[in-house]
Chain A
Amino acid sequence: MPFQVALIAALLKVALILGSTLVVVPMLVWLERKLIAAFQARIGPDRVGKFGLLQSFVDGIKLVCKEEVVPNGVDRLLYFAGPVVTMIPALTVGALIPFGPPVKIGGYTHDLVMSDLPVGALFVLAITSLGVYGIVLSGWSSNNKYSLLGGLRASAQMVSYELPMGLCVVAALMIASQDSPTGVFSMRFSEIVDAQSGTILNWTAFNYHFPLLGLLAMVVFYICGLAETNRAPFDLPEAETELIGGYHTEYGGLRWAMFFMGEYAAMLNVASVTATLFLGGWRPPYPSPLPAGSVLAGFEGAFWLVFKIGLVILLYMWIRATLPRLRYDQLMGFGWKILIPVGLLNIFLIAGILTFAFPEKAPSVLVPAITSASSRAPAPPSMPGGMGGIQQLQIPGGTGPTPTAPPVAPSPAPGAPGVGGR
Chain B
Amino acid sequence: MTVPNHYYLILSAVLFTLGSTGVLTRKNPIVIFMCIELMLNAVNLAFVTFSRARGGFDGQIYAMFVMTVAAAEVAVGLAIIVSIFRERRNIDVDDVSELKG
Instruction: Establish whether A and B are touching in the complex (CB under 8 Å).
Output: yes
A-B pairs with CB below 8 Å: how many? 3
Least CB distance from A158 to B in Å reads 16
User: Which residues of the other chain, A, contact B101 by a CB distance below 8 angstroms?
Assistant: none
Query: Is B55 a contact of A393 with CB atoms below 8 Å?
Result: yes
Give the nearest-CB partner of B53 in chain A: A395
Q: Does B58 contact A (CB under 8 A)?
A: yes
Least CB distance from A88 to B in Å reads 22
- Find residues 393-410 in chain A having any chain B CB closer than 8 Å to their own CB: 393, 395
User: Which residues of the other chain, A, contact B58 by a CB distance below 8 angstroms?
Assistant: 421
Cα-based distance from A375 to B49 in the complex (angstroms): 26
User: Which residues of the other chain, B, contact A421 by a CB distance below 8 angstroms?
Assistant: 58
User: Which residues of the other chain, B, contact A393 by a CB distance below 8 angstroms?
Assistant: 55
Least CB distance from A167 to B in Å reads 16
Give the nearest-CB partner of B58 in chain A: A421
Cα-based distance from A395 to B58 in the complex (angstroms): 17
- Find residues 283-342 in chain A having any chain B CB closer than 8 Å to their own CB: none
Give the nearest-CB partner of A394 in chain B: B55
Least CB distance from B11 to A in Å reads 19
Least CB distance from A417 to B in Å reads 16
Cα-based distance from A395 to B55 in the complex (angstroms): 9
Give the nearest-CB partner of A398 in chain B: B53
User: Which residues of the other chain, A, contact B53 by a CB distance below 8 angstroms?
Assistant: 395
Least CB distance from A43 to B in Å reads 51
User: Which residues of the other chain, A, contact B55 by a CB distance below 8 angstroms?
Assistant: 393
Give the nearest-CB partner of A405 in chain B: B54
Least CB distance from B34 to A in Å reads 16
Cα-based distance from A182 to B84 in the complex (angstroms): 54
Cα-based distance from A421 to B55 in the complex (angstroms): 14
Least CB distance from B72 to A in Å reads 15
Least CB distance from B69 to A in Å reads 18
Give the nearest-CB partner of B5 in chain A: A395
Least CB distance from A371 to B in Å reads 13
Give the nearest-CB partner of A397 in chain B: B4
Give the nearest-CB partner of B54 in chain A: A395
Cα-based distance from A136 to B62 in the complex (angstroms): 31
Cα-based distance from A421 to B57 in the complex (angstroms): 12
Provide the A379-422 mask, 1 if CB < 8 A to any CB of B, else 0: 00000000000000101000000000000000000000000010
Least CB distance from A309 to B in Å reads 33
Give the nearest-CB partner of B2 in chain A: A396
Provide the B23-66 mask, 1 if CB < 8 A to any CB of A, else 0: 00000000000000000000000000000010100100000000
User: Which residues of the other chain, B, contact A395 by a CB distance below 8 angstroms?
Assistant: 53
Cα-based distance from A395 to B53 in the complex (angstroms): 7
Least CB distance from A269 to B in Å reads 25
Give the nearest-CB partner of B56 in chain A: A421
Cα-based distance from A174 to B53 in the complex (angstroms): 32
Least CB distance from B22 to A in Å reads 21
Least CB distance from B57 to A in Å reads 11
Cα-based distance from A421 to B59 in the complex (angstroms): 13
Cα-based distance from A393 to B56 in the complex (angstroms): 12
Cα-based distance from A216 to B53 in the complex (angstroms): 44
Cα-based distance from A395 to B54 in the complex (angstroms): 8
Least CB distance from B55 to A in Å reads 7
Cα-based distance from A63 to B53 in the complex (angstroms): 54
Cα-based distance from A421 to B58 in the complex (angstroms): 10
Least CB distance from B52 to A in Å reads 9
Least CB distance from B32 to A in Å reads 21
Least CB distance from B44 to A in Å reads 16
Least CB distance from A122 to B in Å reads 12
Least CB distance from A146 to B in Å reads 22
Least CB distance from A317 to B in Å reads 36
Least CB distance from B3 to A in Å reads 13
Least CB distance from B1 to A in Å reads 11
Cα-based distance from A385 to B55 in the complex (angstroms): 20
Least CB distance from B53 to A in Å reads 7
3 contacts between A and B (CB under 8 A): A393-B55, A395-B53, A421-B58
Chain B residues within CB distance 8 Å of chain A:
53, 55, 58
Chain A residues within CB distance 8 Å of chain B:
393, 395, 421
3 tightest A-B CB contacts, nearest first: A395-B53, A393-B55, A421-B58
